Structure 1
Amino acid sequence: MNISEKNFNKIFNIFLFLIASTMIFRKPCTDLIILFAAFNLFFVKQLKFTKTSLLLTAVIASPLLMEVLLFWNNDSYPMGLKSIEKSVSLLIFPLFILGNYQRVQFYKLVQFYRFTTTGMMLFFFFRFMAVAPDLMNKYLNGIDLWEMGYQFSNSIGIHAPALNMHLAFVAIITLYFVFNAFRERKSIIIKIANFTIFILAFFFVLFVNTRMALFNMLMGFVLVFFYEVIRKYNFKKVVAISAVGLVLLGSIFLLFLQKNPYMKEKYSSVTFAYMDKVGKLDKIENPEIKVFNSFVTRASIWKSAWELSLKSLPFGVGASDGKPELIKYYKQTNQHFLAKYEFPTHNQFLDFLLKYGFLGPIVVFLYIFTIGYLGFDLKNAIIISFFFIFFASNLTDDFLLRFDGIAFSGLWFSVFGSYWVQEKFTADKEKLVV
């Protein structure tokens, strides 16, 4: 079946827009990924690879390739196959996106993504107000503020840290386009629209209120400010923009803090409480209440995962056996609180070390830091910010175990790689002309 280049490009990019926009909804996004793969297989002759794009494809697929390479190490082959199935998008995305790298419309895609994601969050926020007025009343009255972000995320069907990882990226992209609108002297309507979307995106990150996402978002703002303001404006404009930005963001943050006093407690005494009880959480009275979301719980999990990993070298316990073996270790070491709630590793480097041995953290490092390389090489604040978000998030969580981390990173890594190859190809052509 023949298809015109124009129609193929249009359908290809529509798929990318829809997949990016539905990433927070596992089922529809999975269906779209399957359709995307089928479409590209049907028109497989459209694929074109360079040596560089093939190398990037291998890097993006490396977690999946490692699972296949060490499949023999699983105690349960059916569970090993299930683990591989979750990572298949790490082959689909680079194969079909980098294979069509010249068709990827990077800035249009991120523009569409921020519009649709912010719009959907606004819809779900009003929906949440309508279906859970009791929770909103508690929130407005300062009662049980700790549960609000998780309840809101659950109403959408996604884990709060995963949702806020997406929302932090959206807020950073939106700030980029705020600066871009002023630098390119866009109309006042476009400037107001960009600023409104930014305020909404910033608010949603505060509302879901997970610690790493808030930190990542603020660091992303700094990166965008450095690349889009400090490097492109004179000193007077930098000072003026800094002052306006600090006043606006500070006002929003203080207003939110006034309505949510639990944030002060959460980010200070709650987060770093009982640090002398690492590995001894059962000595704390009611640990479910006092340290369930505290850093000491993460540190206790990491301690156990590290100890078990050292006993399981050189090839680890297998992809299907990481969590079961860790829970078994909790029981063996009399850590009943951790065993009761079956905590996973909450650190991607440690998780892959436990499952795959020496090779695991090397692959995680290669996967994440290649994103950073693309961003720094292009001097692109959006890509650098994504790298920082995904790297920092995987220090306290394990997003390469979950659809919302695997597909999210695989899609954007492939898009960033395509944009990088486009820019390198253009630069090489210019060199040849010169």
Structure 2
Amino acid sequence: MIFRKPCTWIIIGFVLFNLCFIKKLKHTRLAILLGLVIASPLLLEILLFWNNDSFGEGLKSMEKSISLLLFPVFILGNYKRVQFIKLLQFYSYTTTVIVLFFFIRFIVVYPDLIDKYLGGTDLWEMGYSFSNSIGIHAPALNMHLAFVAIISMYFVVYSFRKNENVAYKLLRILVLALSFFFVLFVNTRMALFNVIAGTIIIFFYEVIRYYNFKKVAAIITFGAVLLGGILFLFIKNNPYMKEKYSTVTFAYMDKVGKLDEIENPEAKVFNSFVTRVSIWKSAWELSLDHLPFGVGASDGKPELFKYYKQTNQHFLAKYEFPTHNQFLDFLLKFGILGPMVVFLYIFTIGYLGYDLKNAIILSFFILFLTSNLTDDFLLRFDGIAFSGFWFSVFGSFWLQEKATACKERLIA
């Protein structure tokens, strides 16, 4: 999921494998309905394909979303075979090992950068340098890593609840510690917020429900000491983090739409909230000019960049910032229907988690919702494939639980 080309080839292999066993697919009415929701961003692109200025660019935009059709067809069609817990465990372990490998590679291949960061120089670029070294945008990488950290926290609690042996417990704690460290190293604000939110959800659903007060207090203390200790050590060695999460984030809020009035905006507000708000303001104004159908899927970015130039926002035009908000991105591209589809797509994940009372799915919902409020992950292949795959897996688990409940009612 982290790497576009390997992920694309794996999806192709996955599809070809399933085509060999296409007769085994069984789609219930609920599965078809859920599949349509998962594929809704792609279906919206098809519905409004005529609105693209370029046929070729329209097809290129649509190609990124094909997995939103393939995953529900083959995963929901085989929902009885999906092993939810094993998939989560495999995903968390393998992703952590892969990122650990690239972290070690980063230390070996870029010793000059490591020396610079250890000396406290340009700490703001550390996470981005690491992400760029493996060819992925930092917020996208940290969205994956935040989900891995949440899963790892779940399995630590799971290990104690199931009373697994000491080796398993230590392994799960190690994976949690590594995954949380990687979230801090890449250091994006929403990822850290989502790990904290996911941890709270897991404690509410998986700890408070199953343990007495003494055990709850002991587990919370253990979790706070483990994560708090890692956070303390990281902040101690990365003083920029205090600045980033306080003064940098909300600096220059009086300059919304007027970033060029700031001296050296690259250094002062490149990652600040004022830049996001300035982008949103421009996207909103441009969207209102192109209602009800938007500018077209392939023309969202070019039209926004053109608008920056027309409104003399040279800093935004120079770096060609996309919308950084999925609701606004779809409003700009598809008009009124756009935000409605994003809402349906994301909040259906939330409904599945709420209906199942499942901490992992609810945490994913919060993660993907907040990530798309400050970024646009249904615009990127990694966000599309990531959400489409897990949405289909969550849907399969939901269908399994519905089928089990139905059988129990029939037996009763």
Task: Indicate the residue corresponding to 2:215 in structure 1.
Answer: 237
Q: List aligned pairs for 1:54-73, cutoff 5 A.
A: 54-73=32-51
**Structure 2 Cα separation of the partners of residues 142 and 218 of structure 1:** 26
Q: 2:280 is matched by which residue type in structure 1?
A: W
1:122-151 alpha-carbon deviations (Å, 9 max, x no partner) = 111111110001111112121111111111
**Structure 1 Cα separation of the partners of residues 94 and 270 of structure 2:** 34
**Structure 2 Cα separation of the partners of residues 402 and 249 of structure 1:** 31
1:41 Cα deviation from its structure 2 partner: 2.0
Q: List aligned pairs for 1:19-98, cutoff 5 A.
A: 23-98=1-76
Q: 2:217 is matched by which residue type in structure 1?
A: V
1:248 Cα deviation from its structure 2 partner: 2.1
**Structure 1 Cα separation of the partners of residues 305 and 120 of structure 2:** 36
Cα-Cα RMSD = 0.8
Task: Indicate the residue corresponding to 2:196 in structure 1.
Answer: 218
**Structure 2 Cα separation of the partners of residues 328 and 153 of structure 1:** 29
Task: Indicate the residue corresponding to 1:18 in structure 2.
Answer: none
Task: Indicate the residue corresponding to 1:105 in structure 2.
Answer: 83
Q: 2:387 is matched by which residue type in structure 1?
A: S
Task: Indicate the residue corresponding to 1:250 in structure 2.
Answer: 228
Q: 1:237 is matched by which residue type in structure 2?
A: K
1:156 Cα deviation from its structure 2 partner: 1.0
Task: Indicate the residue corresponding to 1:309 in structure 2.
Answer: 287
1:208-250 alpha-carbon deviations (Å, 9 max, x no partner) = 1111111111111111111111121112221222222212221
**Structure 2 Cα separation of the partners of residues 343 and 122 of structure 1:** 30
**Structure 1 Cα separation of the partners of residues 183 and 273 of structure 2:** 21
Task: Indicate the residue corresponding to 1:203 in structure 2.
Answer: 181
**Structure 2 Cα separation of the partners of residues 333 and 412 of structure 1:** 40
Please list every run of 5 or more consecutive structure 1 residues that lacks an aligned counterpart in the other structure. Answer: 1-22
Task: Indicate the residue corresponding to 2:345 in structure 1.
Answer: 367
1:358 to 323, 330, 336: 336
Task: Indicate the residue corresponding to 1:159 in structure 2.
Answer: 137
Task: Indicate the residue corresponding to 1:266 in structure 2.
Answer: 244
Q: 1:372 is matched by which residue type in structure 2?
A: G
Structure 1 position 396 matched with structure 2 position 379: no
**Structure 2 Cα separation of the partners of residues 185 and 151 of structure 1:** 41
Greater displacement, 331-340 / 398-407: 331-340
1:309-352 alpha-carbon deviations (Å, 9 max, x no partner) = 11110000100111111111111111111111111100000000
Q: 2:402 is matched by which residue type in structure 1?
A: K
**Structure 1 Cα separation of the partners of residues 264 and 114 of structure 2:** 27
Structure 1 position 283 matched with structure 2 position 280: no
**Structure 2 Cα separation of the partners of residues 333 and 75 of structure 1:** 23
**Structure 2 Cα separation of the partners of residues 255 and 288 of structure 1:** 29
1:164-184 alpha-carbon deviations (Å, 9 max, x no partner) = 000000010011010011011
Structure 1 position 194 matched with structure 2 position 162: no
**Structure 2 Cα separation of the partners of residues 110 and 335 of structure 1:** 44
Structure 1 position 345 matched with structure 2 position 317: no
Task: Indicate the residue corresponding to 2:107 in structure 1.
Answer: 129
Greater displacement, 362-371 / 333-342: 333-342
**Structure 2 Cα separation of the partners of residues 258 and 342 of structure 1:** 35
Greater displacement, 200-209 / 238-247: 238-247
Q: 1:243 is matched by which residue type in structure 2?
A: T
SS of 2:78's equivalent in the other structure is helix
1:42 Cα deviation from its structure 2 partner: 2.6
SS of 1:398's equivalent in the other structure is coil
SS of 2:104's equivalent in the other structure is helix
**Structure 1 Cα separation of the partners of residues 198 and 214 of structure 2:** 23
Q: 1:161 is matched by which residue type in structure 2?
A: P
Greater displacement, 237-246 / 202-211: 237-246
Task: Indicate the residue corresponding to 1:336 in structure 2.
Answer: 314
Structure 1 position 298 matched with structure 2 position 273: no
Task: Indicate the residue corresponding to 1:16 in structure 2.
Answer: none
Q: Which runs of 4+ in 1 moved over 2 A?
A: none
Please list every run of 5 or more consecutive structure 2 residues that lacks an aligned counterpart in the other structure. Answer: none
Greater displacement, 138-147 / 94-103: 138-147
**Structure 2 Cα separation of the partners of residues 158 and 401 of structure 1:** 14
Greater displacement, 56-65 / 154-163: 154-163
SS of 2:163's equivalent in the other structure is coil
Task: Indicate the residue corresponding to 1:409 in structure 2.
Answer: 387
Task: Indicate the residue corresponding to 1:141 in structure 2.
Answer: 119
Greater displacement, 132-141 / 406-415: 132-141
Structure 1 position 116 matched with structure 2 position 116: no
Greater displacement, 36-45 / 307-316: 36-45
Alpha carbons 2:31, 2:399 under 8 Å: kept: yes
Alpha carbons 2:177, 2:226 under 8 Å: kept: no
**Structure 2 Cα separation of the partners of residues 247 and 412 of structure 1:** 31
**Structure 1 Cα separation of the partners of residues 219 and 68 of structure 2:** 40
